């Protein structure tokens, strides 16, 4: 059974940093692109970033470029999102998702809440 | 602001057919496939339809997708109480060179 379990969310002040983790199991992690998708409270879905199977390619939404870094450790079956210079508007539930293809995310984690507030 | 527009809400009684639209442009729906996600209250999104009209394993065929020109639709036949959820469309946008979601539609079973 495919499982994605996020962790690392919490309350942080504007300008602060946070590192999210996603532990994957039940599939060959190293053979899939992976994404982070977020959802602000009461709002819709927004794709944030994704990373190629071997970590050699990474893509980001414009609003997080230069502040967020996606990475992975295939030996640990883990995906990460390092978030720096956090803004109030980054407040959201962050989901880890497996990329079946472009805009096809076939498995999702339960999400982890990031709250940016003073 | 999303480039894919959905009606904020839709509703029906049990057993009815409900249709949700997703309106885009030539650079997204007009050029690429559309995928649909269901988000039950308090849970993560779930892939419902991919490549316009394909079902992932385990999704009942009461759900169906279609695309015509720059619009796509999700139909729910034989509406059930457990279908109460938010539904989102998604597609690649060639102009934005990025992934875009629809604004989302909340389906209520009366």
pLDDT per residue over A41-100, tens digit each?
999 999 999 999 999 999 999 999 999 999 999 999 999 999 999 999 999 999 999 999
Model pLDDT, residue B2: 77
Q: What pLDDT is recorded for position A116?
A: 98
Interface test with B, best of A45, A48, A107, A112 (most B CBs within 10 A): A45
What is the C-alpha to C-alpha distance for residues A22 and A98, in angstroms, rounded to an integer? 11
At residue B32, the pLDDT reads 96
Model confidence at B100, pLDDT cuts 50, 70, 90, reads very high
Distance CA B83, CA B41 (A): 10
Residues 40-99 of A with CB under 8 A from B: 44-47, 61, 95
Which residues partner with A23 through β-bridges?
A5, A78
Check whether B42 has a pLDDT greater than 70.
yes
């Amino acid at each position: 059974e495919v499982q994605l379990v996020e962790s690392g969310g919490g309350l942080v002040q504007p300008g602060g940093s946070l590192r999210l983790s996603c532990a994957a199991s039940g599939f060959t992690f190293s053979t899939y692109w992976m994404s982070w998708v977020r959802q602000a409270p009461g709002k819709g879905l927004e794709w944030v970033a994704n990373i190629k199977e071997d970590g050699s390619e990474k893509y980001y939404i414009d609003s997080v470029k230069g502040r967020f870094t996606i990475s992975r450790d295939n030996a640990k079956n883990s995906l990460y999102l390092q978030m720096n210079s956090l803004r109030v508007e980054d407040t959201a539930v962050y989901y880890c998702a497996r990329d079946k293809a472009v805009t096809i995310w076939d498995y999702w984690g339960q999400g982890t809440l990031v709250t940016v507030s003073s | 602001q999303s480039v894919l527009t959905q009606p904020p809400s839709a509703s029906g009684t049990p057993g009815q057919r409900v249709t949700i639209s997703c309106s885009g442009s030539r650079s997204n729906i007009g050029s690429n496939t559309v995928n649909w996600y269901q988000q039950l209250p308090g849970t993560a999104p779930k892939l419902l339809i991919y490549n316009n009209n394909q079902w992932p394993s385990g999704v009942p065929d009461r759900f169906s997708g279609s695309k015509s020109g720059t619009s796509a639709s999700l139909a729910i036949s034989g509406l059930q109480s457990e279908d109460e959820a938010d539904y989102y469309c998604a597609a690649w946008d060639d102009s934005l060179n990025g992934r875009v979601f629809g604004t989302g539609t909340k389906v209520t079973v009366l």
